[in-house]
Structure 1
Amino acid sequence: MTVRLIPYLMMDGNAKEAIQFYETALEAQLLFSQTFGDMPENPEFPLPAEARDRVAHATLKVGDSELMFSDTFPGQSHSAGNQVTICITADSPEKAKKLYEALQQGGQVNMPLQETHFSPAYGIVTDKFGVVFQIYTESHR
């Protein structure tokens, strides 16, 4: 099974600016970008107007590596300590579940592992050392 670790930068409303900066500074190529406004509406969680243009997810190709970005949702706390997370990309929901369950031991679940519109199995945990991991399963559709 294939597993990749990808640095994930959490920005405080300036992800678009950071992406443009890294495109130039690191000679990176934008592979994907989606704003919160581009995502499907969820009636249970109405999207505030100030969140529509914030980056929900973006990926830059930097040489042979990738760098991922997201803005915080308005009202979420943001500090230098939680700005970088590690995104673990798995190639199957079974592998994602195994990683998710192992990393949450002694830690904290931030988002339960679940199917989303962008992944068959996605969740977020903070491990017992305070490191935040996003577990993402590639969709093979």
Structure 2
Amino acid sequence: MARFNPYLNFPGNTEEAFTFYQSVFGGELVGLQRFNDTPEAANVPPEDGHKIMHIALPIGPDTVLMATDALESRGHTLVVGNNFSLSISTDSPEEADHLFGGLSEGGLPTMPMSKTFWGAYFGMVTDKFGIQWMISYDENYVNPN
């Protein structure tokens, strides 16, 4: 069964936002990865390297709040309304492909399903209603709760 989690985009203040969310919800921040820590580090301007590529905060037994800094230097323009995605974690690559295919009908795939450097099978699509989706299957995923 797929699990849904909110994925937020910030204009460079993800770390500040998640320190605040941690003070509200409690819990431990997990999965912190900075742009400097990725294989794409050479393509990120030095002033953006310390920014957050991914961070997660478990906020319930089945919910994880996740986020990234949307880098203008990488062509991302943050506008209220496009500053979040719904992230779906699936139980199999086949389920991921099925959901990606369905959500792509009449929509715009922005990253095809493929194996990523962090080990997940992952893709992104904006559906025909303008909702942004992130679909992932990670055989090594361990629910942090």
Question: TM-score, normalised on structure 1?
Answer: 0.90
**Which whole-Å CA distance do the structure 2 matches of 1:110 and 1:56 have between them?**
17
Aligned to 1:60: 57
**RMSD of aligned alpha carbons:** 1.6
Moved over 3 A (4+): none
- Return the offset for 1:56: 0.6
- Paired letter, 2:110: N
Residue ranges of structure 1 left out of the alignment (5+ in a row) = none
Percent of matched pairs sharing the same residue? 34
How big is each residue's C-alpha offset from its partner over 1:49-93, in whole Å with a ceiling of 9 and x where there is no partner?
Answer: 122111111110113221011111233100111111100011221
Partner secondary structure for residue 19 of structure 2: helix
Question: Is residue 51 of structure 1 aligned with residue 29 of structure 2?
Answer: no
CA distance in 2, matches of 1:123, 1:129: 18
Quick one: which of 67, 70, 86 aligns to 1:69?
67
Conserved? CA contact 2:41–2:49, under 8 Å: no
Pair 1:127 & 2:124 matched? no
Q: Map Cα deviations across residues 8-29 of structure 1 (whole Å, 9 max, x no partner).
A: 0111100000010000012232
- Which residue in 1 is equivalent to 2:28? 29
**Where do residues 12-23 of structure 1 align in structure 2 (5 Å cutoff)?**
12-23=11-22
Aligned positions, number: 138
TM-score under structure 2 length normalisation: 0.88
Shift of 1:112: 1.3
Deviation at 1:42, TM superposition (A): 6.8
Partner SS for 2:81: helix
Aligned runs of 1:79-118 on 2, under 5 Å? 79-118=79-118
Secondary structure at 2:72 match in 1 = coil
Alpha-carbon contact 1:3-1:88 (below 8 Å) kept: yes
Q: Which runs of 5+ in 2 are unaligned?
A: none
Listed one character per residue, the Cα deviations across residues 32-58 of structure 1 (whole Å, up to 9, x for unaligned) are 210111112476xx2211221111111
Asked whether the equivalents of residues 29 and 56 of structure 2 are also in contact (C-alpha less than 8 Å), the reply is yes
Instruction: Give the drift of 1:124.
Output: 0.6
